[in-house]
Amino acid sequence: MDGMKDTIDIPSTTNGLESSHEKIKSALE
């Protein structure tokens, strides 16, 4: 996992977090 973190771009990580956040909001609604 640590090795993968180094290869993941910051924008990609941010998009992933946003997608997860949207999924959580949808689930709560």
pLDDT in tens, 1-29: 566 666 666 676 777 788 888 888 899 88
* pLDDT given for residue 29 in this prediction: 80
User: Residue 6 has what pLDDT?
Assistant: 65
Determine the Cα–Cα distance for residues 7 and 5; give it in Å rounded to an integer: 5
Torsional class of 21: left (φ above 0), alpha (ψ -120 to 50), beta (otherwise): alpha
